[in-house]
Structure 1
Amino acid sequence: MKYSEQNKYFPIPDNEKNLDTVTATEFATIPSESTGMNFLEGLWFKDKDNLFVCNTFQSKIYLVNVQTKAVSLFATLPDHAFPTGINVHSNGNIYVACSGSDEGSMVLVLSNEGTVLKKLFVGTTKSIDDLVFDKKGGFFFTDLAGTHNKRTAGVFYVEPDLETVHSVVDSGMVATNGVALSPDEKILWITDFGDGKLYRFNLAEDGHSIQPYNSLTPYTFTGADGPDSATIDADGNLYVAICGQARYLIFNQNGFAIGQVLIPGREQGKMAKSTHMAIRPFTNQGFFCASDPNTGECKIYETDVYAKANLGLQFS
């Protein structure tokens, strides 16, 4: 037997080969540190022209100006914090999910200039991976914890007072990762990294509880690595990073796979760690990050996507 070069790394499953497919174009290079692991996460637009991206294990947040392609250091986080997700409030404050730090997992609240304003702790057993605001000013977050022998991961909601925490899903998952809220805030999407699943939950009237009997798991992923962060567009399409495959899958609002974005070099096993995408506000210009665990390279890629960005709380 003889396999093709692509089959050595990340072959596309048969049921996904005929999806609408585009290969993204390299856009910018993010500085790679000479020591330790370089791993990009946490794409989010600070404003319509400036894109946040985190080098997680270096505790750094960069800004990429998408007009000039200039890359600048925005902040180095204290206490060896690992930034894994970012969301911007309508008041301009920047909320950074940190899966770990010298003080444990937390959400750091930064000013528009990058100064730490507040540290939010939500218990000692959780590892906060990503977050998304609703239009009331509360936020959902995922919990990168648990194992297959101890399924402790869940999904949680923090009220606008930043103190009251509700369990959306108390436990039963393995390393919940991506989180996205539909434009009408009636559907909550969650990726379960450890189990390789995508969940679509219908929310109740309170905005954070799950309606009984009408939630479903629309998709199970193939491969050694699971689904990572998720991003919603204005039409309700969901873009899910597949970490370890240099690929992003796109689902419509009902959970059907309709397209995919490929990262250049994936056929040779390069830039495997694809973790997060963001859509430029007021446009359909999508930006995708990927890192190469073998070389330490960190890059941003770009291609047009199906619909314009969902603006949510940030631009309300």
Structure 2
Amino acid sequence: MPTRTHTLTALTALALLTLTACGTEKAGTSDARPAAAPASGAGHTIRATQLSHVTDPHKATGMTLLEGPVLTKGGDLYVVDVTAPPGEPKVISVDVKTGDHKGVYSDKTGAYTSAQISPHDGRVYLTEYQSGDIISIAQDGSDRRTFFSGKIDGSPMNPDDIAFDDDGNLYVSDLHGMKTGEAEGRIVRIDRDGEKTTVLADKLAHPNGVMFDPGQKGLWISELAKDTVSYLLLDAEKTTVTTRHEAIHVDAGVAQTDSIAVDAAGNLYQALHGRPAMAVFSKYGERLGTVEVPAKEADGLQSATNVAITPGGRAAYMTVSGPKGGYVYEFDALAKGIRLSNGG
């Protein structure tokens, strides 16, 4: 059993994992370079406003990192704090009307990198980076269950983001150790009963975001160490990738591609680690704009990790973190949200 010191050290290492130097490997089945997107800042600015100051850096870990925004049917926004030490809230509920927040769930060891609600059972699913487990809890934070634990094709996962299809099957980005200079990441499908697993894609350069297109014909995935967004077309059963190509290269400078969301029009919201902003693209790769926090508030904020867009509405909620703390910012999406746009 690891000591408290070892646990906290691992939490800090996890929060720093996305600061690892970029790899240079090519991944994918196409040799063609993806179409270069216009330089960062191209298109119009979508201004975000602060909704809630949720966390401060923890004394034990020296930092905070909010991720995994997802809206419940009751209208609350759930976020996870990746670096929360034992005993402090790891899943936090934010009232989107008032900005008030409260802890929903905590445990002694988990380092949770995303939260998502299954359309099959309505439970909140959490990816635990350190153990490789995926757990689920009731929406009130009770009834913790281990949904998946173990190795896939002989090696454990380091799961990051989740996307659900309408039947409740999971599609997980697996950082798979995330070593500098190596492209060993995977996209893994886990059937909704947690019994059958399939590796849909491998040899990826630190895959982070994973999200279906609105028609659920394919998956958009981002590779942190390549600053690329790729499209994986799936077969009718969603168990095999029929084609795979790099679709967008994000010219983000020192920032890197984090999580992905989509809206009803198929627009992509690409979160940026290293800059408190999101790049927005059409499904054809056209840079439509950039979601940014006000310049006077950006000091001390380093990353916008993810976003949830209200199903049936345009209100969007972005998790932003840095030495100043963990925040939720809100903005108007370019199109209405759908179930798939509600976190990842």
CA distance in 2, matches of 1:43, 1:272: 17
Letter in 2 for 1:230: I
In 1, are the aligned partners of 2:41 and 2:290 still within 8 Å (CA)? no
Aligned to 1:151: 183
AA paired with 1:15? A
Task: Answer yes or no: is the 8 Å Cα contact 1:248–1:261 preserved in 2.
Answer: yes
Cα shift at 1:120: 1.3
1:180-191 mapped onto 2 (5 Å cutoff):
180-191=211-222
Look up the match of 2:251. Answer: 221
Look up the SS of the partner of 2:313 in the other structure: coil
Q: Which stretch of the first structure deviates more once superposed, 179-188 or 252-261? A: 252-261
> Which structure would you say has the larger RCO, counting Cα contacts within 8 Å and 6 or more residues apart?
2
The number of aligned residues is 294
Alignment check: 8 A CA contact 2:310 2:341 kept: no
Q: Which residue of 276, 280, 285 maps to 2:315? A: 285
CA contact (8 A) 2:301 2:320 kept: yes
Note if 1:34 corresponds to 2:59: yes
Shift of 1:241: 0.6
Structure 2 CA distance for aligned equivalents of residues 313 and 226 of structure 1: 21
Write out aligned runs for 1:1-316 (5 A): 15-32=39-56, 33-36=58-61, 37-47=63-73, 49-58=75-84, 60-76=90-106, 78-90=107-119, 91-100=121-130, 104-115=131-142, 116-123=144-151, 124-144=155-175, 145-170=177-202, 172-212=203-243, 215-265=245-295, 269-293=299-323, 295=324, 297-312=325-340
Q: Supply the AA of the counterpart residue of 1:222.
A: A
CA separation in 2, counterparts of 1:260 and 1:312? Answer: 21
TM-score, L = length of structure 1: 0.86
Percent of aligned positions that are identical? 22
Which string of whole-angstrom CA distances, capped at 9 and with x for unpartnered residues, describes residues 69-93 of structure 1? 22111111x3421111111013221
Asked if structure 2 preserves the Cα contact closer than 8 Å seen for 1:49 and 1:280, the reply is no
CA distance in 1, matches of 2:103, 2:196: 33
- Deviation at 1:45? 1.0
Other structure's SS at 2:83 match = helix
CA distance in 1, matches of 2:125, 2:198: 19
Counterparts in 2 of 1:251 and 1:55: CA distance versus 1, 3 Å = same
- Counterpart code for 1:184: G
Aligned partners of 1:311 and 1:251: how far apart in 2?
A: 19
Unaligned residue ranges in structure 2 (runs of 5+) = 1-36
The residue number in structure 2 matching 1:8 is none
- Structure 1 gaps, min length 5: 1-12
**Partner AA of 2:55 in structure 1:** P
